[in-house]
Structure 1
Amino acid sequence: MARQASGSEVLERAKRLVVEAKTMDELRQAQAVLLPLEFGLTLAQTARAIGVSVGWTCQLRRRFVLAGGMPDADRARPGGRRRENMTREEEVAFLAPFFEKARMGGILVVGEIKHALDKRLGRKVALASAYNLLHRHGWRKLAPDKRHPQADVAAQEAWKKNSPTSSSKSIERGRAKGRSA
């Protein structure tokens, strides 16, 4: 014989939730509690009725009962930055002097930011932490271009065509030495 279903203390809340449910998940969770208590269904029968596995049905019931009759939708979900050093607002305030200096024509030096971050947090942090901090606030490392934006490509090509190569210079030196001997 199967064990008697527990959770009678939240039965009234489950009945209300069946009527008030806004999502299918809330409805299933209320049904997972209601069907075994009201109609004496087993977990397997309840799972078949609500369209989920037996394990998931058990989990839905347990969550509802442990939360005191609150559906999963109302509980806080994990996510976000759990190991953050500073809040977003603190990061903005920390980076403000560096960004202001960069706006005035200065260069944003990541090493300086890392050093200031070490002092602010009271411990050493990886250089990647400084880069991640900048990345979160829309800054990226700029690498120099392959050529100067004001370069005259035609003049550079003409110089390449007309300039002596290193091998021709050595041949000329060799000839000069041979003639003087």
Structure 2
Amino acid sequence: MDIQELRMAQAVLLPALGQMTLKAAAKVIGVGRATVARLQTRFRGRKGSAQPTPRRWGGRRRALMELEEEQAFLSAWKPQAEQGQLVVVTPLQVALEEKLGRRVKRSVVYRLLDRHHWRKVAPDTRHPKTQRSLQDEWKKKRCPKSWRPC
């Protein structure tokens, strides 16, 4: 008997024989109240079967599109991105809203891009021909931190 079978048996027997509520049985077993109800349903559905039923919970239940549909949607912007042009999120968001027929938040688009391993490419923060010594020299010679003319 494995731990899952033991929990199923406890989920059925504790409320029935021990006159416990689902919440109290959940506390004894060490799971949530909804899990006790789920274990009871699974136990009653077995009907003498030696094999436990496989889990069916988890996955992308709130997905707006299938992964293949998302890849097809992003394939329109892939050539533009591969050529080194910037792909801006706002037009992607508008196109996604048109495809889905509903409004989506910008975070949905960012998560979509992250899910398909697109990364944010930002311009450099400083110019490649910057001469640090000239900048430091200018800082030393400039006027004090006031807005008066020198």
Q: Which category of TM-score, normalised to the shorter sequence, fits these structures? A: 0.5 to 0.7
Q: What CA RMSD, in Å, does the superposition of the two structures yield over aligned residues?
A: 3.7
Alignment size in residue pairs: 133
Query: Structure 1 residues 58 and 132 mapped into 2: Cα distance closer, same or farther (>3 Å)?
Result: closer
- 2:3 corresponds in structure 1 to 25
- 2:59 corresponds in structure 1 to 80
Q: 1:147 aligns with which of 117, 126, 137?
A: 126
Deviant stretches of 4+, over 6 Å = 55-59
Aligned pairs (5 A) from 1:36-75: 43=17, 53=29, 60=39, 62-70=41-49, 73-75=52-54
Alpha-carbon offset, residue 28 of structure 1:
2.7
- Unmatched 5+ stretches in structure 1: 1-17, 19-23, 37-41, 45-51, 173-181
Q: 1:137 aligns with which of 116, 119, 128?
A: 116
Identity %: 37
TM-score (structure 2 length as normaliser): 0.66
Counterpart amino acid of residue 118 in structure 1? E
Counterpart amino acid of residue 129 in structure 1? V
Query: Structure 1 residues 149 and 66 mapped into 2: Cα distance closer, same or farther (>3 Å)?
Result: same
CA contact (8 A) 1:64 1:72 kept: no
CA contact (8 A) 1:29 1:61 kept: no
Alpha-carbon offset, residue 162 of structure 1:
3.1
Residues 70-93 of structure 1: CA deviation (Å, up to 9, x unaligned) = 578433331111111111111111
- 1:97 corresponds in structure 2 to 76
Equivalent residue of 2:87, what SS? coil
Alpha-carbon offset, residue 169 of structure 1:
5.8
Query: Structure 1 residues 72 and 120 mapped into 2: Cα distance closer, same or farther (>3 Å)?
Result: farther
Equivalent residue of 1:74, what SS? coil
- 1:39 corresponds in structure 2 to none
Q: 1:127 aligns with which of 95, 106, 111?
A: 106
TM-score (structure 1 length as normaliser): 0.56
- Unmatched 5+ stretches in structure 2: 19-27
CA contact (8 A) 2:46 2:53 kept: no
